[in-house]
Structure 1
Amino acid sequence: MYINTASFRFNLMPLESLILPSYKGSTLRGGFGYAFKKVVCALKDKECSECLLKEKCIYSYIFETPPPSDTKIMRKYPSAPHPFIIEPPSEKRHGYSPGTELGFGLILIGKAIDYLPYFIFTFDELGRIGIGKGKAKYELKNVICDGKKIYDSETKTLKPSSLSNLKSYFLNLESEDLNRMHSKINLLTINFLTPTRILYNGHLTLDLEFHILIRNLLRRLSLLSYFHCGGDPSEVVFKKIIELAKNVSVKERHLKWYDWERYSTRQDARMKMGGFVGEITFKGNFEPFMQIIEAGEVLHVGKGTAFGLGKYEIREIL
Structure 2
Amino acid sequence: MLGTLLTLTQHFPVLRLRFTLQLQAQAQLPDFKGSMFHGWVGQAIKQHDEKLFYILCAEHEGGQPKPYAIKLTDEHQQQWQKGELLSFDLMLFGEAVHLSQRVIDALSEGVRLGIGEYTSQGRSPVKLLSVASVLPGRILPGVVTTVLQDWINTELTDGQCELALHLKAPLRLKHKGAISADFLPELYELNRHICRRLSQLTKFWVADEPTLLNALYTAQPRLGEYQAQHHCYFENWQRFSLKQRAKQPFGGLKGMLSFYGDIAPAKPWLQIGQVLSVGGKTTFGLGHYELIG
TM-score by length of 1: 0.77
Q: Partner residue of 2:47?
A: 38
Q: Distance in 2 between matches of 1:241 and 1:148?
A: 33
What is the SS of the residue equivalent to 1:64? Answer: coil
- Whether 2:105 is the aligned partner of 1:121: answer yes
* 1:27 to 2:36 alignment: yes
Structure 1's 279 and 248: CA in aligned 2 closer, same or farther, altered over 3 A? farther
**What is residue 145 of structure 1 aligned with on the other side?**
133
Contact 2:13 2:145 in 1 (8 A): no
Secondary structure of 1:145's counterpart equals strand
Deviations 1:273-297 (A, max 9, x none): 1000111212332233222111111
Gaps of 5+ in 2: 1-7
Question: 2:14 aligned with 1:5, yes or no?
Answer: yes
Correspondence for 2:5: none
Which residue is 2:66 aligned to? 82
Q: Hey, what's the Cα distance between the residues in 2 that align with 1:9 and 1:273? A: 24
1-structure distance, mates of 2:130, 2:150:
31
Deviation >3 Å, runs of 4+: 239-242, 247-250
Aligned partner letter, 2:234: W
Relative to its length, the structure with more strand (as a share) is 2
Is residue 69–residue 283 contact of structure 2 (8 Å, CA) maintained in 1? yes
Change (3 A) 1:101 1:208: same
Superposition pairs for residues 261-272 of structure 1, below 5 Å?
261-272=238-249
Report whether the alignment pairs 1:18 with 2:21: no
Q: Using the TM superposition, give the Cα deviation of residue 170 of structure 1 relative to its aligned residue in structure 2, in angstroms.
A: 9.0
Amino acid in the other structure paired with 2:45: F
AA in 2 matched with 1:58: L
Match of 1:175 in 2: none
Aligned runs of 1:1-318 on 2, under 5 Å?
1-2=8-9, 3-41=12-50, 57-64=51-58, 66=60, 75=62, 77=63, 80-133=64-117, 134=119, 135-146=123-134, 147-150=139-142, 162=143, 164-169=144-149, 183-205=158-180, 206-230=183-207, 232=209, 233-236=212-215, 238=217, 241=220, 244-245=222-223, 247=224, 249-316=226-293
Cα separation, 1, equivalents of 2:219 and 2:146: 30
Provide the C-alpha distance between the structure 2 equivalents of 1:127 and 1:92, rounded to a whole number of angstroms: 21
- Report SS of the residue matched to 2:84: coil
Which residue identity lines up with residue 127 of structure 2 in the other structure? E
What residue identity is the alignment partner of 2:213? S
Pairwise CA RMSD of aligned residues?
A: 2.4
What is the letter of the counterpart of residue 178 of structure 2? H
Corresponding residue for residue 3 of structure 2: none
Runs of 5+ unmatched residues, structure 1: 42-56, 68-74, 151-161, 172-180
CA distance in 2, matches of 1:186, 1:4: 29
Secondary structure of residue in 2 paired with 1:107: strand
Deviation at 1:22? 0.7
List per-residue Cα deviations over 1:195-236 (Å, max 9, x = no partner): 000113212243211122111111001111121122534332
The superposition leaves residues 18-61 of structure 1 with CA deviations (integer Å, 9 ceiling, x where unpaired) of 221110011001111122112222xxxxxxxxxxxxxxx32122
* TM-score, length of structure 2 as denominator length: 0.83
State whether residues 210 and 250 of structure 1, in contact with CA within 8 Å, keep that contact through their aligned partners in structure 2. no
Contact between 1:210 and 1:249, CA under 8 Å: does it hold in 2? no
Deviation at 1:102? 0.8
Change beyond 3 A, Cα 1:22–1:283: same
User: Aligned partners of 1:207, 1:120: CA distance in 2, in Å?
Assistant: 38
Contact persistence 1:196–1:302 (CA under 8 A): yes
Matched letter for residue 24 of structure 1: K
Is the CA contact 1:195–1:274 (under 8 Å) kept in the aligned structure 2?
Answer: yes
CA change 1:20–1:105 in 2 (3 A) is: same
